[in-house]
Amino acid sequence: MADRMQLGFALPLVDVGGEPGVAGTIAQRAEAIGYDYLAAPDHMLGVNAASRPDWGVRNTSADLFHDPFVLFGFLAGCTERVGFSTEVMILPQRQTALAAKQAASLDILSGGRFRFGIGIGWNPVEFTGLNENFHNRGRRSEEQVEVMAALWAEPHVTFAGRWHKIEDAGINPRPAGGRVPLWFGGHADVTLRRVARSGDGWMMLSYPPGDDALKAFATLERYCLEAGRAPGVVRISVRTSAGQGGPEDWRREAGFWKQAGVSHLTLHNAYSRQHHRPIADHSLGAHLGALARYYEAVADVL
């Protein structure tokens, strides 16, 4: 029998706000219903759309994003079982040793409930404001992953790379298992190759259920084999929404992803890009209601 597909819920703080009572209520309700993990995105800076008339609505200063490490540290104290996943943190905007230390601290304080999803970002405005180079972010992130893995695994690290230099030093605490599960978001071919070489999983957003998704999964599997990794060792996460269709549609979609080998399904009812559609009512009550209805519809399919 295939492993159970885990079901997560992306915190809709962009819709309902980020007050402690709101975030804590959502987390506790999701845990009580039976969700396996909570997900949150990462953005440091949002542009002033008034000064950029052609910008659109993507990632502006009107959008609320808590720092995921702080958010999950708070929620770890409000919950007992549910896991946490960044979807995704923009790693090349962050200092590498600091990110490794924060991830290790969250791993320890949450009792090993953290899964570290990383990406390279798309918004040059953020990189400029953080004094980071937008144009080398992909290559830099590869070295960042190498540095973080070393800092998690060993008490003392000596590393000399293109962007990092550590002279016989380390972080404390380190994650209990000597590593933090590392997942990659993104859809470029180079990203799939990074996942295949060093990732625990891939967070896929671009494709709805269908042949294009299956082709992408097959490509990842081929790259894993080329990298000398066993079939199925890299897991896959996809997103869905209760804003499209009804319970029978949700069951069919969940069944497709299960059959395709997806290991993690994230319900994101506030996301509105690619083929994804959010729920129409953005209130806290509507989000909590959709949270319960979706679980009831798909629980036996997982």
Q: Which residues touch 207 (CB under 8 Å, ≥6 apart)?
A: 213, 216, 275
> From CA 117, how far away is CA 256, in angstroms rounded?
23
Residue 1: per-residue pLDDT: 38
State yes or no: pLDDT of 9 exceeds 90: yes
**CATH T-level assignment (fold) for domain 6-298:** TIM Barrel (3.20.20)
Q: What is the mean pLDDT of residues 73-100?
A: 98
- What confidence tens digit (pLDDT) does each residue in 42-53 have? 999 999 999 998
> From CA 160, how far away is CA 198, in angstroms rounded?
19
> From CA 302, how far away is CA 297, in angstroms rounded?
10
Measuring CA to CA, which residue among 290, 256, 269 is closest to residue 5? 256
Domain extents in the chain: 6-298
Residue 36: per-residue pLDDT: 98
* Residue 57 banded pLDDT, cuts 50, 70, 90: confident
The mean predicted confidence, pLDDT, of the chain is: 96
- What confidence tens digit (pLDDT) does each residue in 219-267 have? 999 999 999 999 899 999 999 999 999 999 999 999 999 999 999 999 9
- What confidence tens digit (pLDDT) does each residue in 89-111 have? 999 999 999 999 999 999 999 99
